[in-house]
A and B are shown apart, each in its own frame.
Chain A
Amino acid sequence: MCRIFSHISSLKVALRHGHICNFKEDLRVDGRGCEDYRCVEVETDVVSNTSGSARVKLGHTDILVGVKAEMGTPKLEKPNEGYLEFFVDCSANATPEFEGRGGDDLGTEIANTLYRIFNNKSSVDLKTLCISPREHCWVLYVDVLLLECGGNLFDAISIAVKAALFNTSIPRVRVLEDEEGSKDIELSDDPYDCIRLSVENVPCIVTLCKIGYRHVVDATLQEEACSLASLLVSVTSKGVVTCMRKVGKGSLDPESIFEMMETGKRVGKVLHASLQSVLHKEESLGPKRQKVGFLG
């Protein structure tokens, strides 16, 4: 990011002269319209020792998500549900500023946003993660690894999380109870005998950046540097908004928030549809699929 900020004053000049976006023509510097995403590359099952994993590349933004299922005890207030744990690691790979504990603040912020967008009953059916009420459940550790940032982190991360959850398979277990009432957990012998999560209602984040009088989706680092405030909307595939947050140091007026929300819903639905089709296509190829990973 540091490199961008050294050019910020010249960018602001460019903005004043209308160089960053030509809104009358609905055209941005890289040739996109205001509601267009950059090309998104999604690949699932990239780390073989996880329950599910995905890598998403959105422009220069590169995200790797690994999901690990581990057995734990259900929370007291929800005895018949499992739960998700989020962790975001902003590695020094992305920028040297994240070295040591430098990326912790951003990591916590993103993790908290993820907790918030999943904090509703419809996102993931947590009851399927329960093994035996009050005693055992599956805990899904969703670990996000930030490898390179090129703007629009939140959207890329939410897409990667959805893809990784889609790819997740949890081994099926049976609870056996003997005459004395002691319980035994038996793991299925067949590695293909597993539970898959339904990701139909898993939301994706659409970030709308306010630049001048208009808003754009999927801002690059340069565009983010020009925007004073942005609105983060998490939308499900049906267009239901599960969470909304304003980020950035500037302010937004209520009217534009409603406008941005509408755009968010519209763009989010399209995004979900294309993501779903890509994931199903990849799934249908099965084990024959050529794995590319970081070698391609």
Chain B
Amino acid sequence: MAGLELLSDQGYRVDGRRAGELRKIQARMGVFAQADGSAYIEQGNTKALAVVYGPHEIRGSRARALPDRALVNCQYSSATFSTGERKRRPHGDRKSCEMGLQLRQTFEAAILTQLHPRSQIDIYVQVLQADGGTYAACVNAATLAVLDAGIPMRDFVCACSAGFVDGTALADLSHVEEAAGGPQLALALLPASGQIALLEMDARLHEDHLERVLEAAAQAARDVHTLLDRVVRQHVREASILLGD
């Protein structure tokens, strides 16, 4: 590849990470008081906010209500200043709609929707700064927000992206690595069972390599789970101190 070297001979990436290393993750639950659940996550320079409302009565047309389970409604938007070049619209464009659908698919697989028939759960995700791996950051933030809202889930949903450069699988791609082209894999994992909630792969990759890339993404997602679990436990501990138990 001309110009930028994504992986040095010593095995370091552009930002100094090893191949399977994640960027620094910092997260917080319960950011807003008025929403039922909310969370904020920073993965490197990618920053995302997620807010959950519900389960509540179906808004708008009653015809949308599902008799046997809850309707999961997702909206993805990214702030006009989140990208390098200013965006004209925060949501409603093709990429945002697609991302909304992907999030919906992911969370329908994880939330125990049959417990709340004829109701609706809203998940709104807002990207404040985009530096690669926005889908993963959104899923991780939304998981924390759903947990904060106290909505029963099968398991955490942990997401991570992975790429493939010079015969090595790279976990948690940054914007520079994404922009260089090459194969990209987005994975949402239910870590306890090892089930996959969403899998998407762009560009061309030889079948023989797929397993390695998948394993790198899954391992990264399991690492994310460890971190998110710590955040949730910390949050619950703080909340219980406030309640005085």
Seen from chain A, the residues whose Cβ lies within 8 Å of a Cβ on chain B are 3, 47-50, 53, 60, 62, 64, 66-68, 70, 87, 89, 91-93, 95-96, 99-101, 141, 143, 145, 147-150, 293-295
Q: Which residue in chain B gives the minimum CB-CB distance to A104? A: B92
- The answer to whether A96 and B34 touch across the interface, beta carbons within 8 angstroms, is no
- The answer to whether B26 and A295 touch across the interface, beta carbons within 8 angstroms, is yes
Q: Residue B77 contacts which of A60, A91, A149, A295 (CB distance < 8 angstroms)?
A: A91
Interface bits B74-117 vs A (CB < 8 Å: 1, else 0): 01010111111010001010000000000000000000000000
- The answer to whether A141 and B84 touch across the interface, beta carbons within 8 angstroms, is no
- The answer to whether A93 and B35 touch across the interface, beta carbons within 8 angstroms, is yes
Measured between alpha carbons, how far is A47 from B79 in the docked complex, in Å?
A: 11
By a CB distance below 8 angstroms, the chain B residues around A147 are 32, 49, 126
- The answer to whether B129 and A49 touch across the interface, beta carbons within 8 angstroms, is yes
The 8 A-B pairs with the shortest beta carbon distances in the complex, nearest first, are A66-B81, A294-B40, A92-B124, A143-B80, A93-B51, A89-B90, A68-B86, A50-B81
- The answer to whether B31 and A294 touch across the interface, beta carbons within 8 angstroms, is yes
Measured between alpha carbons, how far is A295 from B235 in the docked complex, in Å?
A: 12
Q: Could you write out 25 A-B pairs with CB less than 8 Å apart?
A: A47-B79, A47-B81, A47-B128, A49-B45, A49-B81, A60-B34, A64-B128, A87-B80, A89-B80, A91-B77, A91-B126, A93-B51, A93-B126, A141-B86, A143-B80, A145-B128, A147-B32, A147-B49, A148-B35, A150-B34, A293-B42, A294-B28, A294-B49, A295-B27, A295-B40
Known contacts A143-B81, A295-B27; 12 further A-B pairs (Cβ under 8 A): A47-B82, A47-B128, A49-B131, A66-B80, A91-B90, A92-B75, A93-B51, A101-B92, A148-B35, A149-B34, A294-B31, A295-B42
Closest chain B CB from A88 CB (angstroms): 10
Most buried by A among B38, B40, B81, B92: B81
- The answer to whether A93 and B49 touch across the interface, beta carbons within 8 angstroms, is yes
By a CB distance below 8 angstroms, the chain A residues around B92 are 100-101
Interface bits B44-86 vs A (CB < 8 Å: 1, else 0): 0101010101000001000000000000010101011111101
- B122 interface contact, C-beta 8 A: yes
Q: Tally B residues with Cβ within 8 Å of A.
A: 35
- B241 interface contact, C-beta 8 A: no
Measured between alpha carbons, how far is A95 from B42 in the docked complex, in Å?
A: 23
Seen from chain B, the residues whose Cβ lies within 8 Å of a Cβ on chain A are 26-28, 31-35, 38, 40, 42, 45, 47, 49, 51, 53, 59, 73, 75, 77, 79-84, 86, 90, 92, 122, 124, 126, 128-129, 131
- The answer to whether B122 and A96 touch across the interface, beta carbons within 8 angstroms, is yes
- The answer to whether A66 and B79 touch across the interface, beta carbons within 8 angstroms, is yes
Q: Residue B45 contacts which of A48, A50, A70, A95 (CB distance < 8 angstroms)?
A: A48
Closest chain A CB from B168 CB (angstroms): 28
- The answer to whether B126 and A96 touch across the interface, beta carbons within 8 angstroms, is no
Closest chain A CB from B151 CB (angstroms): 15
- The answer to whether B81 and A99 touch across the interface, beta carbons within 8 angstroms, is no
Measured between alpha carbons, how far is A47 from B49 in the docked complex, in Å?
A: 13
Measured between alpha carbons, how far is A285 from B110 in the docked complex, in Å?
A: 45
Measured between alpha carbons, how far is A143 from B82 in the docked complex, in Å?
A: 10
By a CB distance below 8 angstroms, the chain B residues around A49 are 45, 81-84, 129, 131
- The answer to whether A96 and B80 touch across the interface, beta carbons within 8 angstroms, is no
By a CB distance below 8 angstroms, the chain B residues around A293 are 42, 47
Q: Residue B86 contacts which of A70, A91, A149, A294 (CB distance < 8 angstroms)?
A: A70
